[in-house]
Chains A and B, each alone.
Chain A
Amino acid sequence: MKNRFRKVLAGIVTFAVLGVTAAVPAFAADKTDTGTGSITGNVTINGSISPLTISVTHPINVAYAISPDAETFTAPDIKVTNNTKVAVIATVESLKAASGGTLTFTDVDPSAKAWRSLSLADSKKYIALGIAAKGNSGWNSGYSTSTHWAVNDSPLQVGTLNPNTSGALSLTADYGLAFDGAYTANHQLVFQFQLA
């Protein structure tokens, strides 16, 4: 089982770095070997190895804004910093619409709708929200340029971050324009971080 480290974008997440104190190894019983001229003594060496703690810093939540009049979707980059001693792999485990706002969207594929002609009801119902690695932001080469759409259930391995390195992800969306008021909506983004 992989050591995965999940964080929910829209929730309040507290990062905690757990310190692990290694137990001081103890001796077992002594043994006296005897023999003539030359003898051999065997010592069993038992190693106890602790797992490495993954430490990643990311925002607790980010806000996006849809302006129907301007037909714009604006959202800040999501910065992820790897504090771990070794490189970690970042994966978008899931991005799902969540309750708690004045609207609760249904995630759909961006090609599933004719977004500019959606009705009021469908505009308030459907959205195609996606997330992707931002180029030149610190990801090791070979990172994924694909966009993970919220409607998809399959995780997306975004890329690898070296120790003490930050990478950024960007949100993107397709949406309707027929909003008759100001609304809020939530999505929950789940990352998985594992040792490279």
Chain B
Amino acid sequence: MPLLAAGILLSGASPAFAASAASVLTLTATPNSSGNDVALNWTNSDKSRPYSYMLYSKSAHESTFQSIPAKDSAKVLNIYPVVAPTVSFTTWQGKSYTLPKSASLKMWMETPNEYDSKGYSKGLISVDTVSIFDFNANPDAYLKNADGSYKYDVLYFGAWDNNNLQDLSAAAEVGTEAFIKTGRGVCFGHDTLVSNDAIANPNFFKLANYVNIETINHYTPLGGSEISVTKKGLLTNYPWNIGGIGTALTVPTSHSNSQIALGDIWMAYQPPYPYCGGVPQSDSNGKGTNNFYLTTWSNCALIQTGHSDGEATPDEQRVTANTLFYLAQITTDTSWNDHKGQDLDAPDRPAISGVTHNSGRTQYTVNYSSQDNATGYQYYVEATGQNDGAKYDSPVVSASLKTGMKGYSIVVDNSPDTVPDGSVTTTSNSYTFSRPSGSSFYIHVAAVDNAGNISSVAHYPVDELVSVTHPVSIGYSIDPNSSTPFTALDIPIINNSTFPVRVSVAELKATSGIGDAAPTSFSDWNSLTAAQTGNGIALGVGISKTAGSGWTAVDLATPVYAGDLASEVPLGTLGANGASGYLALTAKFGLAWTKATDVSHELALNFTIAD
């Protein structure tokens, strides 16, 4: 799945060589398996003037390059709407502030909490604040240093419901756009980039194209408080590991506002979209969606934080920290560890080579194998002359990052499609476990690499449900007057199991009307007296009709007789999946029957898994 699936907003879809032919910009990319990142180093032969740099990358799963973060810390300016409520807090550096509640970003990022002593920014982000009124009046005074250089890596607009109906001024819009064009990041909060029949911020909305946002002219909200991760990448795992795709997050109630996001959607609202009964929709071309909580496009983002007037859950504060860091993409350094360049490819789905068990079937061992897969990346760096804005690019270089196998996550249960949670059960290529209860069970094996990528799951059914169909009773007749006195139909046995079963005679004994005699009791059964005849017969059972039947093995080619049966006697093995075979009755008996006689035997057959 592509990590970043969009085009380049800043420099086009492929590296451009737009500047001094004399300048040589070289880039190296070295994968770091243990850190799960790629070390980037670049050199610029032009030492005559200062340069800033932007890094571009695409993974093997992506079709176009996108700019990537290039700093390990970020300076953020929070341009907040003016509201009356305030918040007071002390940062992890010991400084106390009282700010409008709409400027809570600094508190979220810099106030120690139960998760990190340096706040949700983990000390990587520092936030300055300015009211939108002051910013509108003189944006460059807040954006730039005295020498004209920019002070901040990222601007953050918000956060309050309706942005408290405070739009950018024309000058602020121009200043912000210029800021964006340098490659610096901008994060727009709730109800900033809006333009519909209920609310509109015309100047803010002029910047909507930088987030790849379209509007729906009629007020069309969609939202709620439950969101889930829809895209995996740097934004979801640095500096906070928020979770993989599908991870549920809780935020204060918020919503999109007649906005169709055409860029990357990192988090979306979950059905049933309780806020105002919103319905997901796309634009008139069937593209994009209004179901998003956080969307980015190159170095800009739109997050719906603010609808609940300064409230933020831990989940939302982590997402905000990651977003701000993600947007910090301009550097004057000449090296960077690309944390976005991660091993994103899961190992191969494990190949289960076999399952064995002990003699008592109480312990099973599954054998499997897998291998990790690398994620390939291509990089180039774009240099921008800080004096003249001239740009030129390095050649594209490649790196392949593979963190290696960490182990296997294994679940054994009675469900056919369980997905292991990714926790490593074993690092071995075999796993022994106690047989669970029930007639069948499933083994689910997923491979996990050191980056935490989980392979697709190999499901292995172990079926021990023996199912055999046989007649409840059968009859035979003895007519001593006939030339063929003994008549009996064969006993059909159908193996419904998914594996062969061994058929054994566990018991065969007379239960009424007759006794059992060994077949060798008499040398000439035809000469028995009436008393001898009525005393017992030798009734036997054995495999019949092996040719063309479902018998795959014969253990005993001759019948086993009731009078000889001291212990269980295997007869043969029936094939799997409906194979049928027959048992035949046979008997040795006297002829001197003085009266019609009804007799009974009980035959107990054991059916056992044969493997």
A residues at B contact (CB < 8 Å)? 1-3, 18-53, 85-87, 194-196
Contacts and interface: CB of A to CB of B under 8 A. Distances in A.
Contact of A46 (B468, B473, B526, B537): B473
Among A3, A26, A45, A194, the most chain B Cβ lie within 10 Å of the Cβ of: A45
Contacts of A194: 530, 594
Given A24-B489, A52-B481, A52-B591, 6 more contacts: A34-B465, A34-B466, A36-B466, A45-B474, A51-B597, A194-B530
Nearest to A48: B477
A30 B471 contact: yes
Interface stretch (B123-131, B329-337, B406-414, B602-610): B602-610
A94 B343 CA distance: 112
A49 B607 contact: no
A45 B601 contact: yes
Contacts of A47: 475-478, 513-514, 537, 539, 597-601
A138 to B, nearest CB: 17
Query: How many B residues touch the partner, as a band?
Result: 35 or more
Given A49-B477, A52-B592, A28 B472 contact: yes
Question: Among B361, B468, B596, B598, which residue has the most Cβ atoms of chain A within 10 A?
Answer: B468
Given A33-B607, A37-B609, A51-B596, A22 B591 contact: no
Nearest to A35: B466
A85 B480 contact: yes
A42 B471 CA distance: 9
11 contacts: A3-B595, A22-B485, A27-B473, A29-B472, A34-B439, A42-B603, A43-B471, A45-B539, A45-B603, A49-B597, A52-B593
B593 A22 contact: no
Nearest to B475: A25
Contacts of B361: 37
A195 B529 contact: yes
Contacts of B520: none
B528 interface: yes
B348 to A, nearest CB: 33
Contacts of B469: 30-33
A37 B466 contact: yes
A33 B467 contact: yes
Contacts of B496: 32
Contact of A50 (B438, B439, B481): B481
Given A24-B487, A45-B475, A47-B476, A38 B601 contact: no
B253 to A, nearest CB: 52
B488 interface: yes
A38 B466 contact: yes
Nearest to B471: A27
A25 B526 CA distance: 23
10 closest residue pairs by CB, A with B? A25-B475, A44-B473, A22-B479, A45-B601, A38-B608, A22-B477, A36-B439, A52-B480, A47-B599, A49-B597
B608 A37 contact: yes
B457 interface: no
Interface in B567-609: 585, 590-609
Q: Which of A29, A36, A85 has the most CB of B within 10 A?
A: A36
B225 to A, nearest CB: 47
Contact of A32 (B467, B480, B514): B467
A46 B598 contact: yes
A50 B606 contact: no
Nearest to B477: A22
Contacts of A23: 477
A39 B530 contact: no
B358 interface: no
Interface string B446-478: 000000000000000000111111111111111
Given A45-B601, A49-B599, A33 B468 contact: yes
B472 A31 contact: yes
A195 to B, nearest CB: 4
A28 B471 contact: yes
Contacts of A46: 473-476, 598-600
A27 to B, nearest CB: 5
Given A47-B478, A50-B478, A42 B604 contact: yes
Contacts of A32: 467-469, 496
